[in-house]
């Protein structure tokens, strides 16, 4: 938790210093501060609390960055400084978060800490030089490129902060987390940065009337992303329902597929799989036993790990055929089909499913020593059945149960749509 404490402490100190400086000197350009404050508060009010997404409050983030990089207002120089920027952004973010706090969907401290530090970084890089007139002679492409460069640096810093906070809270490997954050910048992250730059440039020319005009495209983008996520959540619910078919029919024990998916995802994260690979792993793990529905005589307790290799492959191929009929991505069917292949010929996700499924079957309804015995059996099987790196990753994950216990879906408001969604308590961009 060292990184977590460092980031939170730095954000708290930055907020305290900026608030004190703003109270001491007073607010400059209060009309501009009010306009941007309202924009940021509206962005926080429209924060997406229905499911974890990479950018939960794109409008609030874009407005914050735009205010941090604001130079002239309709051709007239502005006098606000970096402490005022941080103060206004923090106050507006807290004000916009009141309804979410009231409904129990409070923004996390991580979100506020990152917002303060990232906006503070952008403001410190831009406002002191802007107030001294250093950029007064910059015009056209040079000024626009300056804003874009500062936004890129700010986005990179925010990605590092997001990955560090996620690593501190979940203990997932930092490298893959940072890689996924950087990939996310190419999606809605780039739209947020572009909107922030465009609003700052537009206000410099036409004034504050540019704010409502240029925030509309981002609002429409946010709406489209919500609809896409709703379709994705429905797809996941369909897959989860299909996975329960083997349990309802009595072929597998209740909760077996869900446990394999949760533990398999933790192993996949430990191995550094990307978000896309984790989604395929989740879907395949949920449906890895669906081939048993084609069997005339059920496997006792649904335990396929102890079957002869030829029978395991036959069930896996039957499962892959069923998955292909459901319209799920072909990659998921491939993982289901190849889960019984020799591990040297398997993709990583199939290796994970095979090892985790065997572990879950070996520890089912067993005594307190079952976990150690199961791991020992898996290690003995690394000569041909199980990938050594997967077994060792499984051992590391089991040594820290919190890392995979958080994979369970949230209860109550159902804000998590799948096991592979980020765990509650931290967000990515936003």
Provide DSSP, 356-369.
HHHHHHHTTT--TT
Phi, psi of 429 (to 5 degrees): -70, 150
* Contact between residue 229 and residue 187 where contact means Cβ atoms under 8 Å apart: no
Give residues with Cβ within 8 angstroms of 225, minimum separation 6: 53, 55, 188
Residue 315 phi/psi, 5° resolution?
A: -65, -40
Of 381, 361, 384, 359, residue with least CA distance to 372: 359
Cα–Cα distance between 305 and 355 in angstroms, integer? 9
Given a contact cutoff of 8 angstroms between Cβ atoms, the answer to whether 336 and 291 are in contact is yes
Q: Which residue reads 């590391």 in tokens?
A: 396
Residues 6+ apart with CB under 8 A from 79: 28, 29, 131
Structural tokens at position 82? 């970096």
Which tokens sit at 358? Answer: 């065997």
CA 237 – CA 325 distance, rounded (Å): 17
- pLDDT at res. 296: 74
Query: CA 414 to CA 184: how far, in whole Å?
Result: 24
Count of CB atoms within 10 A of residue 45's CB?
Answer: 16
51, 416 in Cβ contact below 8 A? yes
Alpha-carbon distance 357 to 341, whole Å? Answer: 14
Q: Which residue has the tokens 């998590």?
A: 416
Tens place of pLDDT for every residue, the chain, 430 residues? 688 889 999 999 999 999 999 999 988 889 999 999 999 998 888 876 544 445 567 888 999 999 999 988 888 888 899 999 999 999 999 898 888 777 766 557 888 899 999 999 999 999 888 877 777 777 778 888 888 899 999 999 999 998 898 888 877 888 888 888 888 788 778 888 888 888 988 988 888 888 888 888 888 877 887 787 788 788 888 888 888 888 888 888 888 889 999 999 999 988 888 888 898 999 999 998 888 888 777 788 777 877 888 888 888 888 888 888 887 888 898 999 888 888 888 899 999 999 999 898 888 766 667 788 888 888 888 877 888 999 999 988 888 755 555 444 333 333 333 444 443 333 333 4
Q: What is the pLDDT of residue 4?
A: 85
Provide the whole-model pTM.
Answer: 0.78
- Of the candidates 358, 359, 336, the one whose C-alpha atom is nearest the C-alpha of residue 347 is 336
Q: How far apart are CA 397 and CA 405, in angstroms?
A: 10
Q: Is 215 exposed, middle or buried (0-12, 13-18, 19+ CB in 10 A)?
A: buried
Q: Which pLDDT score, from 0 to 100, does residue 55 have?
A: 53
Measured distance CA(11)–CA(161) in Å, rounded: 11
What is the DSSP code string of 251-277? SS-TTHHHHHHHHHHHHHHHTT--HHH
Residue 150 structure tokens:
């500062």
Backbone angles phi, psi at 16, to 5 degrees: -65, -45
Name the residue among 288, 267, 279, 278 with its Cα closest to residue 361. Answer: 288
Residue reference for tokens 């890089």: 125
Alpha-carbon dihedral sign for residues 303, 264, 249, 410: positive
């Amino acid at each position: 938790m060292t990184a977590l404490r460092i980031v939170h402490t730095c954000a708290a100190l930055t907020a305290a210093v900026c608030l004190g400086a703003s109270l001491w000197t007073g607010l400059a350009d209060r009309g501009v501060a009010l306009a941007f404050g309202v924009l940021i508060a509206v962005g926080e009010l429209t924060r997406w609390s229905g499911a974890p997404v990479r950018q939960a409050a794109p409008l609030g983030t874009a407005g914050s960055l735009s205010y941090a990089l604001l130079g002239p207002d309709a051709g007239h120089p502005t006098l606000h400084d970096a402490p005022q920027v941080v103060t206004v952004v923090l106050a507006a973010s807290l004000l916009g978060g009141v309804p979410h706090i009231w409904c129990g969907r409070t923004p996390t401290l991580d979100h506020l800490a990152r917002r303060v530090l990232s906006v503070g970084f952008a403001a410190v890089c831009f406002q002191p030089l802007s107030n001294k007139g250093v950029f007064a002679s910059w015009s056209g492409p040079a000024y626009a490129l300056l804003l874009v460069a500062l936004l890129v640096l700010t986005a990179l810093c925010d990605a590092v902060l997001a990955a560090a906070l996620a690593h501190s809270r979940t203990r997932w490997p930092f490298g893959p987390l940072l890689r996924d954050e950087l990939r996310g910048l190419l999606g809605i992250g780039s739209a947020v940065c572009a909107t922030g730059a465009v609003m700052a440039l537009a206000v410099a020319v036409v004034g504050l009337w540019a704010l409502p005009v240029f925030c509309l495209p981002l609002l429409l983008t946010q709406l489209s992303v919500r609809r896409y996520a709703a379709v994705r959540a429905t797809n996941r619910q369909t897959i989860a329902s299909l996975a329960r078919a083997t349990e309802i029919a009595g072929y597998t024990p209740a909760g077996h597929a869900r446990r394999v998916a949760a533990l398999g995802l933790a192993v996949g994260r430990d191995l550094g799989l990307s978000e896309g690979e984790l989604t395929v792993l989740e879907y395949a793990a949920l449906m890895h036993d669906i081939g048993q529905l084609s069997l005339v005589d059920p496997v006792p307790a649904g335990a396929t790990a102890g079957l002869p290799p030829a029978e395991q492959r036959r069930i896996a191929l039957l499962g892959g055929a069923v998955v292909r009929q459901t319209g799920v991505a072909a990659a998921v069917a491939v993982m289901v089909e190849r889960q019984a292949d020799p591990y040297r010929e398997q993709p990583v996700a199939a290796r994970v499913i095979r090892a985790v499924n065997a572990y879950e079957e070996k520890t089912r309804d067993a005594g307190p020593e079952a976990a150690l015995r199961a791991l020992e059996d898996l290690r003995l099987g690394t000569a041909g059945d199980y990938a050594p790196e997967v077994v060792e990753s499984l051992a590391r994950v089991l040594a820290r149960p919190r890392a995979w216990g958080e994979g369970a879906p949230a209860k109550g408001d159902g804000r998590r749509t799948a096991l592979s969604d980020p765990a509650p308590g931290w967000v990515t961009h936003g």
